[in-house]
Structure 1
Amino acid sequence: MRLTALNTCDNTALSRPLPVRHVTVPPHDHRTVRFTVTPDDLARAGPYRLVAAVGHPAAGSAQAGGSALSTVPLRELAQAYDNIGITQNGNPQPGDIDGAQSSLAAEGLAAAGVRRGGTVTAGGFTFALPEPQQTDRDNAVADGQTSRWPAGRPAWACW
């Protein structure tokens, strides 16, 4: 029995080699084989298709198997930044926080006590704001990403 795991976006394999199991199944019997897949720190974040295939040399090309989807989470929220969410009043054009060319005004945030590189507490969470230049990506649009967040704590977020 062989298990493969490929990233569904670019077909890259998990960094850690996956096990091959040799199982003997008597005629008219069955066996359950369980795999535990633990990606290492080099595994690319994103969705993976895990495919289990079973075959026997005497059966020629006959095989059986199944598949499942799983996700390797982002290690940090910043890895999901894919657009500009904060712009200057005089230059809002690069902003696209919502897909409709909108953005938050840096001047308005500053007037409310929110500054780039600072923190904001809301809903029981403290968020560290990025400190990019005004043309850098500083916002993540929800698109099914999964992140282990906050970094290093046993909490997960999917948006």
Structure 2
Amino acid sequence: MSRYRVQFVRRPGRLMLSAAAAFAVVQLAGCGEQAAPDPETTATLIQPVARLELKVAKVAPGSRSGEQIYQSVCMSCHAAGLLGAPKTGDAPAWAPRIAQGFDTLTTNAINGIRAMPPRGGGTDLTDTEVRRAVAYLANTAGADFTEPPTGQ
């Protein structure tokens, strides 16, 4: 019976010796000098997946149409009727304002009235641009104002 026991004990030793030899070979294989990485390849591999570029579109003062001004400044309040602003295209709400005339509407838009700030909050708007916006907005509710030309 002792003969079998000795063979059983020797087998795990051989296994450990083989594992140690394999580990040593793997460690020695990685000891060589590594080649320097190519900078262009490295730059290509670490490129972002997407790139975002922002461009600011500057518009020359006085060149925007009434519709452009409405969409960028006026629509935020007049589309939903916020803070008592008459809604775009709401003829009954605009009728008393249109009856005051184009000049009165323009003066109120330039100076501000009730909750509306001067120039509707568009501090870069010229007086002519405000006139264009007033004409556009009032015309959606049935007025027949002539929008000043854009000069383009």
Provide the TM-score with structure 1 as the length reference: 0.25
Give the number of the structure whose residues are more often strand, by fraction: 1
Give the number of the structure whose residues are more often helix, by fraction: 2
Higher relative contact order (CA 8 A, sep 6+): 2
